Chain A
């Protein structure tokens, strides 16, 4: 879990006008997310998003995905993996150990990402990691009507699940997943509602393996591309 990492970063950078807002995409609500929040005991806002509202607004399809927002409320980095890599795919599934090279790559990726955040906290829009508008626009993923329909199915599924109709809920989750297969949040959330162990169980690993050469987390491009 990343919450303690964000806490250390917040403690360090809050004096520079920097805040972390962590949002749990958790239809299980406080019952599901609460123990993690209590354990991390964060002093920054740590919010619970049962309906995945933030995922819908920001077009996020996984966790941990982050967006950087400047003092004027403008997006300066669009959704991207928050300093993580695909290294977990090489993990030993019984010991959870990662090969040394994958672990070193993950640590280096995280270090560079956190250093970029420190630079932005210090220099604001003058930081090279606060991307120019055209670069943010270029990086934003498309938002189609099919994706919007997937969000409506997810929303209805979440409501039916909350109302105690798990079977009917899964019909709509299945439709959301069919319309938006790239959403790991839809997949893993709907599995977790069926059975909490399923989200990280054999179904998950089979789905990850079926990616083949495709990425689970996109590679983070910290610097603007050269024109």
Chain B
């Protein structure tokens, strides 16, 4: 059964994922594409950063060429919600991680479409003074 993962600004449906209770097993070959994480000898890694897997709990995280991304989220204290009826998981960043990114004072990058569906990124405007302002139709 496929599972849908809401993570960062993406919605990714992983056809090969398996939900078992509050575990979400993703085959290692699909892990990085779906989540940005990969399993290495030093632990679970995203980019340069690696999180060691507690040696006494390896079976909770990894088995049969699959990785339990839900166990990692809980281990990191990330908000994780599971709607089993709709096969959907929302995996967020911790408050500390969001706060740290803002407190670096480097404006967090994002990419969003305009009305014509054309994507724009904040980083396209380096070298300009950017007035970033929210509004809404409601």
> Which residues of A are in contact with B by a Cβ distance under 8 Å?
1-3, 6, 9, 16-26, 28, 30, 32-38, 45-49, 51, 53-60, 62-75, 78, 82, 117, 120-121, 124, 133, 136-137, 140, 142-149, 151-153, 155-156, 159-160, 163, 165, 168, 172, 185, 188-189, 191-192, 196, 199-200
Contact = CB atoms under 8 A, between A and B. Distances in A.
Nearest to B119: A47
Interface residues of B, number: 51
Interface in B97-112: 98-99, 101-103, 105-108, 110, 112
A68 B130 contact: yes
Interface SS of chain B: mixed
Contact of B79 (A9, A69, A151, A185): A151
- Interface pairs A-B: 3 shortest CB-CB: A192-B138, A143-B99, A199-B138
Interface stretch (B23-31, B41-49, B121-129): B121-129
Contacts of B93: 148
Given A57-B110, A136-B105, A151 B92 contact: yes
Nearest to B100: A143
Contact of B134 (A63, A156, A172): A63
9 contacts: A19-B131, A36-B137, A65-B134, A67-B107, A69-B125, A71-B126, A148-B94, A159-B6, A191-B138
Contacts of B86: 160, 163, 165, 168
Contacts of B63: none
B91 to A, nearest CB: 7
A155 B90 contact: yes
B64 interface: no
B112 A53 contact: yes
A205 B118 CA distance: 36
Contact of A21 (B83, B115, B133): B133
Nearest to B124: A45
A3 B47 CA distance: 38
B114 interface: yes
B51 interface: no
B81 A18 contact: no
Given A23-B112, A82-B133, A156-B83, A140 B103 contact: yes
Contacts of B99: 140, 142-143
